[in-house]
């Protein structure tokens, strides 16, 4: 996935028709745009690495967060963390080398490795997001079965399956890249044959997005339907309790207590749903331009600046997820606050 495959001319981007540049042309590539890109990549590396490392540590450190849903979030954060410490730094290196030499200088094997990691980690993040949504669906639709059946072993198996799908998907991408082109002076995913681009669009985007939309809509409507039913029952029980004797009233109190417990659980699930709805929206905003441009580029030549921007947006998604958890999820805020307080006590006893 090329992060710097364009030639800069007069402050803009042109097609990548030549990669052997003389010294004067190479020096001219360090424009304000190129410097801004390098600076933003450094910012992304720091934000992605620190944010996702914090999420992983909180899930590991606090026992109350070692529940299936947060374990799946941690798996997604691991993929985003590796994006920040491996993939984006290599992209920065490519950007610097391209501005300096006009080409990818790290060879064919490392090119394949980098492209493989790009798609492995991106797809792992997507598939883990699907797992989180499926977990929420199971928790809302079958709460008793969920509590009894979702043990540590099943969580590990589900996470393993998500990563296995990501490995298969990334391998398919690398195969398509090698079949389509062999120019390793320009290490990029662009220029794939149409059938490969279309397959990537279906497997890597349309199928996961369809699953996410369907499952989360079901979760929302089921949770609200149950909340409305409980509210109606509470109104009915309140009327019966007002006109009944002590014995019946005590039984109604036990029923009402159970309903309050169910209502509290549903409110908790709805809050989690809203957080992951924002995560899904961020995913759609960050991923849609890239997959659409990848498909169009297999038919027509897309300007380098547009391709480049779509990749930056794709990387940005890995940095946004931990910020969303920290801002919108109460459990993460509480755990982070407790962790910071412990750190402050150690620094200033």
pLDDT digits (tens, 9 = 90+) for 52-108: 999 898 888 887 888 888 899 999 999 999 999 999 999 998 888 888 877 788 888
220/274 Cα distance (integer angstroms):
9
* Lookup result for tokens 């389509």: 180
Phi then psi for residue 153, to 5 deg, are -65, -45
Given this model, what pLDDT does residue 191 score? 72
Given this model, what pLDDT does residue 169 score? 87
Question: With 0-12 CB in 10 A as exposed, 13-18 as middle and 19+ as buried, what is 14?
Answer: middle
Given this model, what pLDDT does residue 181 score? 52
> From first to last of its 349 residues, what are the pLDDT tens digits of the chain?
544 443 333 333 333 333 333 444 444 467 787 888 889 999 999 999 999 999 898 888 887 888 888 899 999 999 999 999 999 999 998 888 888 877 788 888 888 888 899 889 999 999 999 998 898 888 888 877 887 888 889 999 999 999 999 999 888 877 766 655 545 557 777 777 788 788 888 888 899 999 998 888 888 788 777 666 666 655 665 555 555 544 554 544 554 555 566 666 666 667 777 787 888 889 999 999 998 888 888 888 888 778 888 889 999 999 998 888 877 777 777 787 777 777 777 777 6
Given this model, what pLDDT does residue 20 score? 39
- Which helix (H) or strand (E) element contains residue 190? none
- Which helix (H) or strand (E) element contains residue 258? helix 246-297
71/73 Cα distance (integer angstroms):
5
12 DSSP 8-state letter: E
Given this model, what pLDDT does residue 13 score? 36
Q: What's the start-to-end Cα distance of the chain, in Å?
A: 48
CB within 8 Å of 210: residues ≥ 6 apart: none
Region at 20 (left for phi over 0; alpha for psi -120 to 50; beta for the rest): beta
205 in Cβ contact with 287 (< 8 Å): yes
HEC profile of 73-138: HHHHHHHHHHHHHHHHHHHHHHHHHHHHHCCCCCHHHHHHHHHHHHHHHHHHHHHHHHHHHHHHHH
Structure token digits, residue 280: 């899904």
**Of 29, 1, 5, nearest to 19 (Cα)?**
5
Structure token digits, residue 235: 């109104």
203 DSSP 8-state letter: I
Coil, helix or strand for 51?
A: helix
Answer yes or no: pTM beyond 0.85: no
What percent helix, strand, coil does the chain show, rounded to 5? 85, 0, 15
Given this model, what pLDDT does residue 12 score? 36
DSSP bridge pairs for 9? 12
26/265 Cα distance (integer angstroms):
61
**Of 59, 80, 58, nearest to 286 (Cα)?**
80
103 in Cβ contact with 95 (< 8 Å): no
142 in Cβ contact with 59 (< 8 Å): no
């Amino acid at each position: 996935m090329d992060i710097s495959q364009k030639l800069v001319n007069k402050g803009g981007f042109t097609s990548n028709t030549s990669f052997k540049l003389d010294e004067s042309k190479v020096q001219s590539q360090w424009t304000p745009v190129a410097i801004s890109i390098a600076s933003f990549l450094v910012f992304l590396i720091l934000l992605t690495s620190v944010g996702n490392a914090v999420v992983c540590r909180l899930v590991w450190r606090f026992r109350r967060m070692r529940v299936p849903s947060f374990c799946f979030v941690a798996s997604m954060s691991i993929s985003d963390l590796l994006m920040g410490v491996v993939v984006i730094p290599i992209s920065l290196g490519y950007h610097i080398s391209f501005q300096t030499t006009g080409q990818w200088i790290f060879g064919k094997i490392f090119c394949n490795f980098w492209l493989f990691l790009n798609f492995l980690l991106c797809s792992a993040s997507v598939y883990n997001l699907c797992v989180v949504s499926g977990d929420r669906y199971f928790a809302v639709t079958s709460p008793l079965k969920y509590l009894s059946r979702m043990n540590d072993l099943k969580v590990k198996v589900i996470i393993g399956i998500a990563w296995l799908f990501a490995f298969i998907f990334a391998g398919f991408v690398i195969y398509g890249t090698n079949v389509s082109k062999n120019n390793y002076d320009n290490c990029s995913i662009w220029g794939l044959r149409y059938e490969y681009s279309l397959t990537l669009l279906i497997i890597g985007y349309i199928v996961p997005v369809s699953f996410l939309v369907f499952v989360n809509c079901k979760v929302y409507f089921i949770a609200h339907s149950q909340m409305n039913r409980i509210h109606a029952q509470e109104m009915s029980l309140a009327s019966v309790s007002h006109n009944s004797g002590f014995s019946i009233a005590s039984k109604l109190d036990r029923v009402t207590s159970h309903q309050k417990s169910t209502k509290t659980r549903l409110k908790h699930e709805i809050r989690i749903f809203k957080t992951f709805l924002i995560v899904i929206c961020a995913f759609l905003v960050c991923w849609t331009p890239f997959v659409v441009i990848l498909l169009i580029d297999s038919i027509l030549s897309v300007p380098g600046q547009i391709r480049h921007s779509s990749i930056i947006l794709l990387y940005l998604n890995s940095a946004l997820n931990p910020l969303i958890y920290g801002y919108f999820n109460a459990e993460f805020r509480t755990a982070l606050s407790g962790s910071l307080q412990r750190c402050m006590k150690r620094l200033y006893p």
